[in-house]
Amino acid sequence: MEMTAERCDGILIIEVGGRLDGYAAEEVKRGIATSLRDDDRSVVIDLAGLAYLSSAGIRVFLGLQKELKVRGGGLAICNVGEYPLQVLAMAGFDRVFTLFPSRAAALAASFRREDSLSLIADLAAPPVEYEGAKFRFEPGSWTPASLRVKGSIDDLLHARIREEGVSAETFSDIRYSLGLGALGSSLLDAMPFLGEMVTLQGSMTWLPSDGHNTPDFFVPARVGGEVRAYTAFNVALDGQFNEFATVEAEEGITLEALYRAVFAHARERKVGAGVVAVALWGVTGGVLGSGIRKAPLARDAPARGGSIFDPENVGDWIEASEEPKYAGDSIVAFGIGLDPSADLSSCDAGAIASLSGHPRGEGDNGLILHTHGVVFRKVPWDLQTPLEKGIDRCLAEGEFVDMRHLLDGTRILRAHLGIAYISSITRG
């Protein structure tokens, strides 16, 4: 059995040749699972080189068709040879599957299906193009939104965190936030494990600084309880999202370009100041991330002094990916974007300094970004599912993969966004 996978204008094409028997069916099943992105809705199976087909192979195709139907898409099978067609007919599946005489015909049907789904979305909210991606904006709540900053980014960066600088947060108070934190039975229990953290709709995902480089998470089933999140630095959103948006970019859009687009839209609409908070559920085209290896506590400050990001210290303190990972997987994230060229006089100067102090936050165009994200797998993308339901689905149903501080080169293929235009920033 031979199997190849490729894409034509976003449509996944699986070509299977040789003998598709019981043994090969398991290989094809694994190959499809590896190739299928969370945003794939239409797939073409090309059987031009297939000489033998059994019920085991048919079941693989049937399982894929059922999964695509749930996603609002479909399966197109083409170039079926004489013997495989006889098998499909005798098993009664020539009427279950949609068969096409050529790859071109199967692709044309798949493109029509995708275009119809996009047309429905375009009629609901006309798209605008920014940074080569298609954005559709919808109004949210116009109640002013603000950010609340706790702790010191400077203490974090220079490993000066002490017990008195760590606060205990209830989960009901940190619906959307990011920073440095940990879970534990007490402050003393949590402090050695302080690492990158993000809270999304009251759930917490964090990267314990225990040397294992393995994230952990906690999803409360109800409000209240005794479990606390201990945070040494935390930026939390107070208020609702002022706008929602969907983003589609076949080649992917970087986080930096996505924030540029949000700021450009805000300027055109004459809304917001120079700070935005963005929550995201989408599909990644490749994650570039970093994390803190060990808690930046005062007792473990770099012997040579300076920041944990200084060249002589960074290898001991920071873990960063050099190549993109997790392309095609689902991602949920929360981030802050700051435009230093805007009028920020209404915001607390100390809070602005905390937002702009992270050395991994400044992009090439001067924007300052700080975003934490969580990667999940096997959460099918749905244009019609709103942001917060999508986040809930990831938390409840997704296969948990990773959590990182997202670098600006992280790419997004499709996403739902919640955008808050920040009117004030406070400390404490």
pLDDT at 10: 84
Backbone angles phi, psi at 406, to 5 degrees: -85, 125
Task: For residues 40 and 140, state if they share a domain.
Answer: no
Task: For residues 108 and 140, state if they share a domain.
Answer: no
pLDDT digits (tens, 9 = 90+) for 261-277: 999 999 888 777 689 99
Domains identified in the chain, total number: 2
Task: For residues 68 and 156, state if they share a domain.
Answer: no
Task: For residues 384 and 398, state if they share a domain.
Answer: yes
pLDDT digits (tens, 9 = 90+) for 294-350: 999 998 888 777 888 888 888 888 888 889 999 999 999 999 999 888 877 777 777
CATH number at residue 6: 3.30.750.24
Q: Note the Cα 301 to chain centre separation in Å.
A: 33
User: Which of 104, 124, 144 represents a domain boundary (last residue)?
Assistant: 124
Dihedral of CA atoms 381, 382, 385, 386 in degrees, nearest 10, equals: 60
Contact 169, 218 (CB under 8 A): no
User: Which of 84, 105, 124 represents a domain boundary (last residue)?
Assistant: 124
**Distances from the Cα of 301 to the Cα of 157, 193, 298, 418, angstroms:** 10, 15, 5, 38
Query: Over the chain, what is the mean pLDDT?
Result: 89
Percent of the chain with pLDDT over 70: 94
Please, what is the angle between helix 55-70 and helix 22-35, to 10°?
20
pLDDT of residue 222 exceeding 80 = no
Paired strand residues for 52:
19
Task: For residues 288 and 384, state if they share a domain.
Answer: yes
**Averaged pLDDT for residues 370-394:** 92
Task: For residues 92 and 163, state if they share a domain.
Answer: no
Residue with tokens 């087909």: 53
Task: For residues 259 and 207, state if they share a domain.
Answer: yes
pLDDT of residue 32 exceeding 90 = yes
Percent of the chain with pLDDT over 90: 61
pLDDT digits (tens, 9 = 90+) for 59-98: 999 999 998 988 888 999 999 999 999 999 998 898 899 9
CA distance 334 to 372: 6
The H-assigned helical ranges of 214-280 are: 255-269
Q: What is the DSSP string of 86-99?
A: HHHHHHT-TTTSEE
Domain containing residue 92: 2-124
Task: For residues 324 and 409, state if they share a domain.
Answer: yes
Q: What is the DSSP string of 166-201?
A: -EEE-GGG-SEEEEEEEE-SSHHHHGGG-EEEEEET
pLDDT digits (tens, 9 = 90+) for 14-30: 999 999 998 999 999 99
How many other CB atoms are found less than 10 A from the CB of residue 367? 21
Task: For residues 105 and 137, state if they share a domain.
Answer: no
pTM of the model: 0.84
Task: For residues 168 and 304, state if they share a domain.
Answer: yes
User: Which of 82, 103, 124 represents a domain boundary (last residue)?
Assistant: 124
